[in-house]
Structure 1
């Protein structure tokens, strides 16, 4: 019988740390049913009237191995994606066969495998960006490690995690413990000494461009007309002014929002006016969903390890992006680019400063990190189809999951790529956004955060033993005996 997870005996034989065998053997269904929020870290005193507790423990940071396993959960490469879809549409036309931005697979599902979510890890030692390996480097790492995580040694986990660590600051993130930085009781136990926090940010720039081009690969007459639903129709020539006046008088079709690219796109038949894509309604174009999958994976893993885990509101944006010692703000240090000023302000976030990246560390596909939006679109296309990129042009990477490399080549030969017309209209859309709002994207931040983070800790067991049913934390009660004996 084939087993997905190694038996305890198999895991023990390969693991250098005794807790790794136990982790590999812990049942998935137990992780699902026993997962709970457990907030109080070791060394933390609780002021709760008759349920108060004074800790006599020092904070107990996670070990390097414990953090390495959690890091790998959000950065680890799990293999290669499988292109198991059709290449011909029901109407007989060719289907787009190259939608993904990456071929290598990770633990979290991702729209078009954009892998847009980047985690920051915050602990007593500082702030770190967790940069996942991509392309051929990811493929090399896979070959150097046992294929099953249950067979990894302590050195394997720590080595894989060290590959991803990029130091951003040598001190813990720090803000005044009050509103508007923290909400409610988060201002006490959140970001406490000894805890390790995972905070996601989503780079919306790459997938925003990729998703627009994908939508434009629909057949002629089916392509959507992109609208700016935050802006009324602004005619650019006499013909469009006539259409606007006719719309206002009720003698022509109503045009409530601005059609990006103008009415010429509709009249030419390139787009279908009945198929509309409003950018304001689209938001992050589902790119942000990926971060929530990682949160769930982390929570289940933390339960399996017997750690305290707590998903809750982070320090609020825009404060968390910033560093300003005079105000007591020690955040991530993002560059915030001011948008174009308008007589009538557009909705948030278009009217606000755009977090575009951290210079030299994590940079979005938007000025000042590109010279123009034309360059931004070109870089997306190049990344997908370049021979050294992480996707379709890299034969070594793309052919990896196939039994026969000839099948991989056949897929790429049949599967359509982005064409010049789709790329040209995408550039027109992206330039419109930049020229109109002075930022890209406008209807979502370049780096979006769901405003949540996940804190792990060793629990203050004396507090739990005093007030709670032991069945609420059996895995956590056994943690020290497994991981720190």
Structure 2
């Protein structure tokens, strides 16, 4: 099938040792078709740029943010009804990266010579606890990836100059033949879940600048559900939320780099591209980027990315009417028909319906309070979250075909792995005899 790796490549990928990937990982920046103009490592590749094949790209996407099966939930919490189950996870699926509170709201942007793309995995469902069961299951997983990658347009191009690309990356970043993998997080989802968790533990949320209690908690304070002595500043909560998403984005980017070692690709994990420009914050200057919408208000340090209509829509205006609607839809995602805790929705438990039926449901008064809280944050700050972007980006990874000649000329033996030496023969069939054995040395 087009886009499927050669069987020999699949078999070797499935057998590649994790420790070899961990300890063999290096930032191998010099790819086919590249040049370093000056300095002690000045060099011009003798080869043309070679874009990643569809098969290589699909494998790296699957490794980065792919569907791995049902997640196992959070077995217990001391807050809420002691006879009910934990209700923190926002989505029932597991991904190849861990996600704080089971939010699982991240996707990945891809940029290469063939165009700009985004994945749409977060609202998929799983069929089992473990979707990967060895090399034989990889074809199905890659089919899932292929069916849930949306092309957004032509390749995103940015000038190789200040303020778009850092000086040490201009010779290499986003060049012809390279593929950029940029994980993005729904910071709105994560923040709503952190509000859900923290207020569910009885903590009112306060404005970190004035100390004012946000939202209308009077009913829940009166009945003892919220406890004023547990008040939490909003900025602290939002920083914790950002820590969660940054961690998962970094892991998703690192997953790409680890699997690059197994495939035999070059590249590295970095953060030297202007994310505002990459997402679309310079569209007014003729650089549309990935086409995300932005909001700006006087006094903000920089514009805030909101999402992209139709493909990545956080629960924040303009994608919802207001934050009351956002909270209602967020609650329905957990408890509505077909939601995570709908007993009729398949899941990982032996008594799936019974366990989900006993999951703690918050009261209507609590959901109303969360609506007033989220709306107050939005009205006060003009944005949600108040101190973080609605769409967050961490580090990202670029992949390319390594130019072995460069490393042979300037570096001692061991600068690349056997997987790099054997890559062209194994993944692209460029050989006249048997593939060199894995235990041979360059």
Q: What TM-score does the superposition give when structure 1 sets the normalisation length? A: 0.80
* Residue in structure 2 matched with residue 274 of structure 1 by the alignment: 229
Greater displacement, 172-181 / 259-268: 259-268
Q: 1:290 aligns with which of 225, 248, 257?
A: 248
Deviation at 1:194, TM superposition (A): 0.2
Deviation at 1:217, TM superposition (A): 2.1
Change over 3 Å in CA distance of 1:323–1:410 after alignment to 2 = closer
Is 1:49–2:28 an aligned residue pair? no
Q: Is the 8 A contact 1:225 1:266 kept in 2?
A: no
Cα distance in 2 for partners of 1:101, 1:117 equals: 12
Q: Is the 8 A contact 1:266 1:273 kept in 2?
A: no
Q: Is the 8 A contact 2:73 2:102 kept in 1?
A: no
What do you get for the CA RMSD once the two structures are aligned? 2.7
Max Rg structure: 1
Cα distance in 1 for partners of 2:237, 2:319 equals: 24
Change over 3 Å in CA distance of 1:51–1:443 after alignment to 2 = closer
Deviation at 1:16, TM superposition (A): 4.9
What runs of 5+ residues in structure 1 fail to find an aligned partner?
Answer: 1-13, 233-256
* Residue in structure 2 matched with residue 101 of structure 1 by the alignment: 90
Q: 1:213 aligns with which of 178, 196, 204?
A: 196
Cα distance in 2 for partners of 1:75, 1:363 equals: 18
Deviation at 1:33, TM superposition (A): 0.8
The CA deviation string for residues 198-219 of structure 1, in whole angstroms up to 9 with x for no partner, is: 012111112211221222222x
Aligned length: 421
Is 1:322–2:277 an aligned residue pair? no
What runs of 5+ residues in structure 2 fail to find an aligned partner?
Answer: 430-442
Change over 3 Å in CA distance of 1:178–1:378 after alignment to 2 = same
Deviation at 1:283, TM superposition (A): 2.7
* Residue in structure 1 matched with residue 203 of structure 2 by the alignment: 224
Change over 3 Å in CA distance of 1:416–1:478 after alignment to 2 = same
Q: Is the 8 A contact 2:79 2:200 kept in 1?
A: no
* Residue in structure 2 matched with residue 397 of structure 1 by the alignment: 346
* Residue in structure 1 matched with residue 55 of structure 2 by the alignment: 65
After TM superposition, the structure 1 = structure 2 runs for residues 463-478 of structure 1, keeping only pairs within 5 Å, are 463-474=406-417, 475-478=419-422
Q: 1:461 aligns with which of 392, 399, 404?
A: 404
Q: Is the 8 A contact 1:303 1:309 kept in 2?
A: no
Cα distance in 2 for partners of 1:146, 1:355 equals: 33
Change over 3 Å in CA distance of 1:289–1:90 after alignment to 2 = closer
After TM superposition, the structure 1 = structure 2 runs for residues 276-425 of structure 1, keeping only pairs within 5 Å, are 276-284=231-239, 285=241, 286-322=244-280, 327-339=285-297, 341=298, 345=299, 352-389=302-339, 391-393=340-342, 395-398=344-347, 401-403=348-350, 407-425=351-369
Cα distance in 2 for partners of 1:364, 1:431 equals: 15
Q: Is the 8 A contact 2:60 2:259 kept in 1?
A: yes
Q: 1:260 aligns with which of 198, 203, 214?
A: 214
Deviation at 1:312, TM superposition (A): 1.0
Cα distance in 1 for partners of 2:322, 2:140 equals: 42
Greater displacement, 323-332 / 437-446: 323-332
Deviation at 1:415, TM superposition (A): 2.6
Deviation at 1:95, TM superposition (A): 5.4
Change over 3 Å in CA distance of 1:35–1:277 after alignment to 2 = same
Cα distance in 2 for partners of 1:146, 1:423 equals: 34
Q: Is the 8 A contact 1:97 1:416 kept in 2?
A: yes
* Residue in structure 1 matched with residue 180 of structure 2 by the alignment: 197
Cα distance in 2 for partners of 1:72, 1:54 equals: 33
Cα distance in 1 for partners of 2:328, 2:79 equals: 31
* Residue in structure 1 matched with residue 165 of structure 2 by the alignment: 182
The CA deviation string for residues 225-261 of structure 1, in whole angstroms up to 9 with x for no partner, is: 21111x32xxxxxxxxxxxxxxxxxxxxxxxx22214
Deviation at 1:74, TM superposition (A): 2.7
After TM superposition, the structure 1 = structure 2 runs for residues 119-134 of structure 1, keeping only pairs within 5 Å, are 119-132=108-121, 134=123
Cα distance in 2 for partners of 1:31, 1:449 equals: 25
Is 1:18–2:8 an aligned residue pair? yes
Change over 3 Å in CA distance of 1:427–1:133 after alignment to 2 = closer
Deviation at 1:190, TM superposition (A): 0.7
Cα distance in 2 for partners of 1:192, 1:295 equals: 19
The CA deviation string for residues 144-173 of structure 1, in whole angstroms up to 9 with x for no partner, is: x974142146x5454232112111112x21
Is 1:36–2:19 an aligned residue pair? no
Q: What TM-score does the superposition give when structure 2 sets the normalisation length? A: 0.87
Change over 3 Å in CA distance of 1:471–1:152 after alignment to 2 = same
After TM superposition, the structure 1 = structure 2 runs for residues 104-183 of structure 1, keeping only pairs within 5 Å, are 104-132=93-121, 134-136=123-125, 138-139=126-127, 147-152=132-137, 156=140, 158-170=142-154, 172-183=155-166
